[in-house]
Structure 1
Amino acid sequence: MACNKNHRYNPRFNALPFSEEFFNEPERWKCAGCAYDQGFSDARAGRPNNPRLDVLDQSQAGTVRHRNPIEAYNLGYSDGLIP
């Protein structure tokens, strides 16, 4: 499924590294914004740090294009731990 959320254009994601390790794999197109949201939600809910890329939407648009979804998840998880 394709992500159509506004977070695809958040300039904050420009700082994330490109997902070169996922070159030519489906994970390369996972939405970094959705990954961030997943990490944030997991931290707030007290769940362990465990990115689940297989359930994320894909995105080829905006600032999330080819950005590393695991780095985005970890950023969201860290932000979610802040009260």
Structure 2
Amino acid sequence: MANCKLSHRYDTIFQNLPESQKFYDKTERHKCAGCAYEQGYNHAKSKMPRNIDLDVLDKSQAGEVRHKDPTIAYNLGYDAGLRPE
């Protein structure tokens, strides 16, 4: 995967997420929590089951998403996507 260049890397919503150094495997390290959040949000809005797909997430070590757990970010996004607009 590529390195994430999206501005969500600096969104303060990720400041309070726990840090994680999970090493999913060599290709899964440092997944972007912002991309994970958006994936979760979009899955909920599309009525898809809650199931993160780490393989499609870009990497990021920048800003607020540095060392943040993408699975927790995904669940946060999914929960946000379930809320009525």
Where on the TM-score scale, by shorter chain, does this alignment land: which range? over 0.9
Q: Percent identity?
A: 54
Mapped pair 1:28 → 2:43: no
**What TM-score do the two structures reach when normalised by structure 2?**
0.90
The count of corresponding residues between Structure 1 and Structure 2 is: 83
- Label 1:68 to 1:25 Cα distance change in 2 as closer, same or farther (>3 A): farther
1:1-83 to 2 correspondences below 5 Å: 1-22=2-23, 25-83=26-84
Instruction: Output the aligned Cα RMSD.
Output: 1.5
Does structure 2 retain, via aligned residues, the 8 Å contact 1:13–1:64? yes
Inter-partner Cα distance in structure 2 for 1:56 and 1:11:
20
Q: Show CA shifts across 1:44-65 (max 9, x none).
A: 0000000001110000100001
Q: Tell me by how many angstroms 1:32 deviates.
A: 0.2
Does structure 2 retain, via aligned residues, the 8 Å contact 1:28–1:66? no
Q: Provide structure 2 residue ranges, at least 5 long, that are not aligned to the other structure.
A: none
Shift >2 Å, 4+ stretches = 20-28
User: SS in structure 2 opposite 1:43?
Assistant: helix
Inter-partner Cα distance in structure 1 for 2:37 and 2:81:
10
Q: Tell me by how many angstroms 1:19 deviates.
A: 1.4
**What TM-score do the two structures reach when normalised by structure 1?**
0.92
